[in-house]
Amino acid sequence: MVEVKEFWRWKEYNWKNPDIQWKDAAVITAGVDVGSVSSQAVVMCDNEIYAFANMRTGSDSPNGALNAMKWALEDTGMTLDDIHCKVGTGYGRVNVPFADRAITEIACHAKGANYMYGPTVRTIMDMGGQDCKAIRCDEKGKVVSFLMNDKCAAGTGRGMESFASLLGVSIEEVGELSLQVEEEPPPVSNTCVVFAKTEATGLLRSGWSTEKVLAAYCSAMAHRVVSLLERIGMEEDFAITGGIAKNVGVVSRLEKELGVKALKPRYDTQIAGAMGAALFAKALVEKGENR
Amino acid sequence: MIANYGYKDGSGDFFISIDTNKCMECEEKPCMEACPAGILEKFADDYNDVVVGVKEEHRKKIKYSCAECKPASGKRNLACQAACKPDAIAHTW
Amino acid sequence: MITAGIDVGNKNTRALILKDGEVLARSLVPSGFDQKKAARDVFDATLKRAGISEADVDYTMATGTGQEKVTFAHGRVTEVSSAARGAVKIFPGARTVIDVGAEEGRAIKTDEKGKVMDFAINEKCAAGTGSFVESMSRALEVTLEEMGPLSLNGENSVPMNAQCAVFAESEVISLIHSRIPKEDIAKSIHEAMASRISSMVRRVGIQKDVVMLGGVAYNKGFVEALEEDLELKLLIPEDYPEYISAFGAALVAVDKAGSK
């Protein structure tokens, strides 16, 4: 029997801050970001991140939200009832049964990035599993301008997964491999992932190495993202969030084309949305609007 | 806030952008009625401003939803834009 | 007079040889990754089938997205013009021509002589092309040929949210998991694509008769979905809907050869 390799699979994990005793916290809030591909839950104690989990969304989103939340709370002794306010966000935000409020992922990403990267962030590029978001915000993390593209797989994690599967490369290795080329090849000319895959097959047949094809695809992806940023107007400081932010092949080419360095992430780039949701939850508690 | 609704795919950029700072000042929102395809709706955004946006079900097929107002050749007649008094609506294509 | 039309598409390359208005021979090869070779091969095969040599051909006309690869052709004509010309020759009443191939979709408005009045093209995105149905057939684990008959047996359609072929694949897989019959899924896939094609056709304006060409015209499930969406009957060339551009190019070649 042929073993079916899941090249798209990335590592799911949870994390807990060992320096925080949650029972001492005045305000405990949580944010859950239910995306089409991955879900994250973040628990905040006062102003600090206490715990989070990052996992793949299952086929039904109510369980996806609960699974992520439960995993974040694993071995903490904390239960859902200990959390003062919970906000759901992301594509599946209306399906978070335990949430007190649902807020769009655009607003949450801006708020989360403002916290994660600091108040100097003005432009955020979120490259998620099934969408791309270009967001401009002010020093408070309030959205000034945004654009979301969730119609087309080009520029998304799912598109990258589909491409990586064709080449038999694990999604986590794509970035590094794509940098192992002597000379930067011209980008793949087709934007559409379906057509780009046909193009890639042709390039491989004409003798291109896997690394070279990956380089051509990563640079096409970077180019596409730049065009989205141009539409909303690019202003520094600049941050990249989402799963693709972990792909050095795309990030380095994106920085090169923009002529701008992205801020170095201090946290997992995939938790920005859930982080923002937890911050919105905190603001609701402070305003006494959490129930 | 400049809210862009629509998408970019291999065939081009298709966005309707709404300047919510201008839109929120308009009470009547006549653009909603004016649109022959009925793609616009009124809602309170994340900052509680009452503004117009493109309905969720049209966002991924806006090129097709707006086709009626944009013939392949000949005069374009963007009813939403014509009806918008604060000049808050723009089309990218 | 003998003329030839060579249509180099993204997926297949076709050649057709015409002698005094009659089709002598036609053949098809996959375009592969060397369109120049494909054009040569298909032309040689067609000549052989017609029992003539290249020197017997008075004029050769290239068309299709890879038309510039046909270095041996005497002239070139756009795929829009060749499709309109071919369609009007077969159906003199044709005024609107819908041509959906593997990687493009086109809607053309033509006059009674087969001259293009207006057109709209859907390309560079698989969602409005034959590739969409092909991707979905893989997700459904059936062959592309089975898609049409499968869909005709569908009773209910489910709304498809994804517009992108990559996202729609995931959606189809989750529909299979939730035990929606494959017939219904196939029907829904064709309806989703038909609505994209029909709005493209509406942009050029619908004027009867409406002809459908291209490889996707073989798919009866799609044709039915499009007919329902457009609320009219489509005329489809019986034997060879995907050779009409090559046929049209060969007709244009007759004019060119005559004025030489």
The reply to whether C62 and C103 lie within a common domain is: no
Q: What is the pLDDT of residue C238?
A: 85
Helices C130-140, A193-205: inter-axial angle, 10-degree rounding? 90
The reply to whether C114 and C169 lie within a common domain is: yes
| Chains B & C: contacts with CB separation below 8 Å | 40
Pick the CATH number of A14-113+271-286 from 3.60.140.10, 3.40.309.10, 3.40.50.2300, 3.30.420.40: 3.30.420.40
Q: What is the pLDDT of residue A61?
A: 58
The pLDDT-based confidence of A60 (bands split at 50, 70, 90) is low
The reply to whether C108 and C71 lie within a common domain is: no
Range of the domain at C32: 1-91+242-260
Sign of CA dihedral A267, A269, A274, A276: positive
Q: Reply yes or no on whether the pLDDT at C172 is more than 70.
A: yes
Which residues, 6+ apart, have CB-to-CB distance to A145 below 8 Å? A135, A136, A232, A233, B1, B2, B3, B4
Question: What number is the average pLDDT over the span B2-20?
Answer: 93
Q: What is the pLDDT of residue B77?
A: 83
The reply to whether C134 and C255 lie within a common domain is: no
Q: What is the pLDDT of residue A5?
A: 56
- Considering chain C, what percentage of its residues have pLDDT values greater than 90? 85
Q: What is the mean pLDDT of chain C?
A: 94
Cα C17 to its chain centre, rounded Å, is 19
Query: Most B CBs within 10 Å: which of A94, A131, A147, as the mutation test of the B interface?
Result: A147
- Considering chain A, what percentage of its residues have pLDDT values greater than 70? 95
The reply to whether C29 and C143 lie within a common domain is: no
Q: What is the pLDDT of residue A291?
A: 60
Q: Reply yes or no on whether the pLDDT at C258 is more than 90.
A: no
Write out pLDDT tens, residues C132-142.
999 999 999 99
Q: Are A205 and C33 a contacting pair at CB < 8 A?
A: yes
The reply to whether C103 and C81 lie within a common domain is: no
Which residues, 6+ apart, have CB-to-CB distance to A253 below 8 Å? A218, A219, A221, A222
Enumerate the domain spans of chain A.
14-113+271-286, 122-262
**A153 at C interface, C-beta within 8 A:** yes
Question: What number is the average pLDDT over the span C33-52?
Answer: 95
The reply to whether C103 and C86 lie within a common domain is: no
* B60 vs A contacts (CB less than 8 Å): 150-151
| Count, residues in chain A | 291
Alpha carbons within 13 angstroms on the beta-carbon side of residue C77 total 28
Q: What is the pLDDT of residue A7?
A: 61
Of A12 and C182, which is predicted with more confidence?
A: C182
**Chain B nearest C-alpha distance from C199 (Å):** 6
The reply to whether C106 and C217 lie within a common domain is: yes
Q: Reply yes or no on whether the pLDDT at C150 is more than 80.
A: yes
**C207 at B interface, C-beta within 8 A:** no
Q: Which of residues 163-192 of A touch C (CB under 8 A)?
A: 190-192
| Count, residues in chain C | 260
Enumerate the domain spans of chain B.
2-91
**In chain B, which residues touch A (CB < 8 A)?**
1-4, 6-10, 13, 15, 45-47, 59-61, 92
Q: What is the pLDDT of residue A1?
A: 37
Query: Most C CBs within 10 Å: which of A195, A197, A203, A221, as the mutation test of the C interface?
Result: A195
**B70 at C interface, C-beta within 8 A:** yes
- Mean pLDDT is lowest, of A16-20, A252-256, C79-83, C173-177, for C173-177
- Six-digit token string for A22: 């949650």
Paired residues of A136 in beta bridges: A123, A145
DSSP C235: B
**Chain A nearest C-alpha distance from B1 (Å):** 4
The pLDDT-based confidence of B86 (bands split at 50, 70, 90) is very high
Q: CA of A190: which chain B residue's CA is closest?
A: B10
Q: Are A192 and C124 a contacting pair at CB < 8 A?
A: yes
Question: What number is the average pLDDT over the span A17-25?
Answer: 94
- Specify the CATH number for the domain of residue C35: 3.30.420.40
Q: What is the pLDDT of residue C11?
A: 87
Q: Give the residue from A136, A184, A182, A154 showing the smallest Cα distance to A244.
A: A154
Out of A104, A149, A190, whose CB is closest to B8? A149
The reply to whether C97 and C220 lie within a common domain is: yes
The pLDDT-based confidence of B71 (bands split at 50, 70, 90) is confident
Q: What is the pLDDT of residue A9?
A: 63
- Mean pLDDT is lowest, of A112-116, A178-182, C160-164, for C160-164
- Decide: A136 and A122 in contact? Cβ < 8 Å: yes
Query: Most B CBs within 10 Å: which of C119, C161, C163, C230, as the mutation test of the B interface?
Result: C163
Q: Are C120 and B72 a contacting pair at CB < 8 A?
A: yes
d(CA C172, CA C190): 12
The pLDDT-based confidence of A57 (bands split at 50, 70, 90) is confident
Q: Are B60 and C161 a contacting pair at CB < 8 A?
A: yes
The reply to whether C82 and C144 lie within a common domain is: no
Q: Are A152 and B15 a contacting pair at CB < 8 A?
A: no
Q: What is the pLDDT of residue C56?
A: 96
Out of C165, C174, C177, whose CB is closest to A194? C165
* A193 vs C contacts (CB less than 8 Å): 126, 164-166
Write out pLDDT tens, residues A132-163.
999 999 999 999 999 999 999 999 999 999 99
Q: What is the mean pLDDT of chain A?
A: 92
* A279 vs B contacts (CB less than 8 Å): none
- Decide: A140 and A126 in contact? Cβ < 8 Å: no
* C103 vs A contacts (CB less than 8 Å): 195
Query: Most C CBs within 10 Å: which of B8, B9, B39, B77, as the mutation test of the C interface?
Result: B9
Q: Considering its fold, how many domains does chain C have in total?
A: 2
DSSP C239: S
**Chain C nearest C-alpha distance from B29 (Å):** 27
Pick the CATH number of A122-262 from 3.40.920.10, 2.60.40.1220, 3.30.420.40, 3.40.50.1820: 3.30.420.40
User: 3-state DSSP call for residue A94?
Assistant: helix
Q: CA of C161: which chain A residue's CA is closest?
A: A151
Q: CA of C159: which chain B residue's CA is closest?
A: B57
Question: What number is the average pLDDT over the span A250-274?
Answer: 94
Distances (CA, A) of B65 to B36, C133, C204: 10, 22, 15
Cis omega (within 30 of 0) on the bond before A237? yes
The pLDDT-based confidence of A3 (bands split at 50, 70, 90) is very low
Q: Are B46 and A104 a contacting pair at CB < 8 A?
A: yes
Task: Tell me which residue has tokens 């304006």.
Answer: C205
Q: What is the pLDDT of residue C122?
A: 82
CATH number of B2-91: 3.30.70
Which residues, 6+ apart, have CB-to-CB distance to A288 below 8 Å? none
User: 3-state DSSP call for residue C154?
Assistant: coil
d(CA A43, CA A84): 11
The reply to whether C56 and C3 lie within a common domain is: yes
Question: What number is the average pLDDT over the span A264-289?
Answer: 93
Reported in sequence order, the residue ranges of A9-47 that DSSP labels E, i.e. its strands, are 13-16, 28-34, 38-45
Q: Reply yes or no on whether the pLDDT at A2 is more than 70.
A: no
d(CA A62, CA A81): 18
Q: Reply yes or no on whether the pLDDT at A280 is more than 50.
A: yes
Query: In degrees rounded to 5, what are phi and psi of residue C150?
Result: -60, -45
The reply to whether C108 and C230 lie within a common domain is: yes
Q: Reply yes or no on whether the pLDDT at A4 is more than 60.
A: no
* B7 vs C contacts (CB less than 8 Å): 163
Q: Reply yes or no on whether the pLDDT at A167 is more than 90.
A: yes
If phi over 0 gives left and psi between -120 and 50 gives alpha, with beta otherwise, what is residue C26? beta
ipTM for the predicted complex = 0.88
